[in-house]
Amino acid sequence: MRLRRIAGLLGFAAMAHSPLAAQAPAPGFSPAIRRNVARLIEAAMHDTLGYSRLGFLTDTYGNRLSGSASLEHAIDWALTTMQQDGFDQVHGEPVMVPHWVRGSESVVLNTPRSTRLHLLGLGGSIGTPAAGVTAPVLVVNSFDDLTAHATDARGKIVLFDVPFPTGVLPMEGYRIAVAYRVTGAIAAAKVGAVGALIRSVASFSIQSPHTGSTHYDSTVTPIPIAALSVEDAEMLHRMQNRGQAVSVTLTMQAHTEPDAMSRNTIAEITGSERPDEVVVISGHFDSWDVGQGAMDDGGGALAAWEAVRLMQQLGIHPRRTIRVVLWTNEENGTRGGRAYHDDHRTELANHVAAIESDNGVFRPFGFTFQGSAAGLAKARQLSALLAPIGATRMIRGDAEADVEAMITDGVPGFGLLVDDTRYFWYHHSDADMMTMIDPVDFRKCLATMVVLAYVLGDMPGTLPR
């Protein structure tokens, strides 16, 4: 998932206790639409296939990093299964994706005692020489702190021990802390460090390191970078504070191979009256190479897919085409979303909306909306139809990364809004497993997604751009 605009987050917080949205009427929808909405909610709240397929996907193929065989095998399975579902236009659309490979990795504390620490290399990092990089550690608590100790950093491994901010919404805390993951290697290299470590970007930890994309730029020589668990980062910081010399050996086989072929997975129900008008409903199918990729974003992808299957099963054929897209390469390139934008550029004027779920399939509250004020006003009328699920919020905020390029071209965007309290407990870690996907929450997300997609596809007009 991507960062939302803070304005949207604050709007969410302000609305959290407002009963207004939930009590708003749902004007202007025909009895037929209302009847279909009720049928879809009923079917979604009793659905078992979506959750079951999510389990099959994540158990059988595991995590699905761009460039991996597991991602492509999972895509093959999805295409075959979508054919069996009876969808129209089932196909993969080719996308060249980055192919980063983790390899084995370790960080060993040498002094003041010898022990193996808990790490995950950051996605896109370079590796170390085979013998690793052995160096003293300089712990800093911010970029400013690094600047203040720049002369101490030369030849060392810099550890950014920056706590996940508390007292703010999780997404805002993430926005602040993730800067060290994204640019920590650049900042450390600028002052002559030979490697960089960050404290995992996590709002809670049980010795669980978290990966995610990191960046280099042309101004410095790349250095390897990895995330320590929160606990281990704090331990090294305490050691430095009490004057114990800290030295580690960081070993990473990480490397980037040539770009690989992947696919956006696409299928649809052809519109019964206006087949050229398209509602995109989506999640991303790739994941990091840890855990199962169940939360980020198997759950979102399967909810989008199952939403379309429920329409099919109930014989509901909206006027417009409902197109499910399981994006590839959200995590480390967003090339799937951009390829779709480029390949479908001429059709985007007829894309009436693009919906994505990528904040986990936790209890849904509604949607963020990215588009015009008039579009938001009309979207708020739709959201009243979600009152039976308790997911009526429709607030201004960024949608998600994969649909961003479309939105830039004017397509109204929706992001599924969920209770993300525990999102950063699991995000990009080995704990992104089926265990933390609640089947009832999954059904509620499915219901929320299918209602929005259906109504946008079947209502008389479209959202103002």
Q: Does 205 bind a copy of itself (CB under 8 A)?
A: yes
Residues 52-71, one symbol each (x = binds a copy of itself by CB under 8 A, - = not), give: ---xx--xxxx-------x-
C-beta closer to a copy of itself: residue 205 or 211: 205
CB of 107 to a copy of itself, least distance (A): 14
313-332 binders of a copy of itself (CB under 8 A) = none
| Pairing state between β 255-269 and 88-101 | antiparallel
Q: Which listed residue (23, 80, 89, 435) binds a copy of itself by CB under 8 A?
A: 435
Q: Which listed residue (84, 115, 151, 166) binds a copy of itself by CB under 8 A?
A: 115
CB 284 within 8 A of CB 294: no
- 347 as an active site residue: the answer is no
Q: Which listed residue (82, 431, 456, 463) binds a copy of itself by CB under 8 A?
A: 431
How far is Cα 395 from Cα 378, in angstroms, rounded to an integer?
12
Query: Which residue among the candidates 330, 331, 400, 404 is catalytic per the annotation?
Result: 330
Part in contact with a copy of itself (CB under 8 A); list of ranges 95-103, 177-185, 423-431, 449-457: 423-431
Residue that is written with structure tokens 């990191």 in the block: 214
Q: Does 288 bind a copy of itself (CB under 8 A)?
A: no
How far is Cα 297 from Cα 465, in angstroms, rounded to an integer?
28
CB of 248 to a copy of itself, least distance (A): 14
Q: Which listed residue (159, 434, 445, 459) binds a copy of itself by CB under 8 A?
A: 434
Stated length of the chain: 465
C-beta closer to a copy of itself: residue 92 or 291: 291
C-beta closer to a copy of itself: residue 214 or 429: 429
CB of 177 to a copy of itself, least distance (A): 16
Angle between helices 170-190 and 6-15 (to 10 degrees): 160
Q: Does 242 bind a copy of itself (CB under 8 A)?
A: yes
Tokens of 297: 């974003």
Q: Please, what is the Cα angle at 402 between 211 and 179, to 5 degrees?
A: 40
Q: Does 234 bind a copy of itself (CB under 8 A)?
A: yes
Residues 291-310, one symbol each (x = binds a copy of itself by CB under 8 A, - = not), give: xx------------------
CB 26 within 8 A of CB 459: no
CB of 54 to a copy of itself, least distance (A): 11
| Pairing state between β 364-370 and 393-396 | parallel
149-178 binders of a copy of itself (CB under 8 A) = none
Q: Which residues contact 238 (CB under 8 A, 6 or more apart)?
A: none
CB of 163 to a copy of itself, least distance (A): 11
The phi, psi pair for 431, rounded to 5°, reads: -90, 5
| Adjacent-strand bridge partners of 109 | 115, 248
Secondary structure of the chain: what % helix, strand, coil (to 5)?
A: 40, 25, 35
Q: Does 279 bind a copy of itself (CB under 8 A)?
A: no
Helix (H) or strand (E) holding 413: strand 413-418
How far is Cα 381 from Cα 379, in angstroms, rounded to an integer?
5
| Adjacent-strand bridge partners of 133 | 250
Q: Does 239 bind a copy of itself (CB under 8 A)?
A: yes
| Adjacent-strand bridge partners of 101 | 255
CB 281 within 8 A of CB 413: no
Q: Does 439 bind a copy of itself (CB under 8 A)?
A: no
Binding site for a copy of itself (CB under 8 A): 55-56, 59-62, 70, 112-113, 115, 118, 204-208, 230-231, 234-235, 238-239, 242, 244, 291-292, 425-426, 429-431, 433-435
Catalytic machinery residues? 330
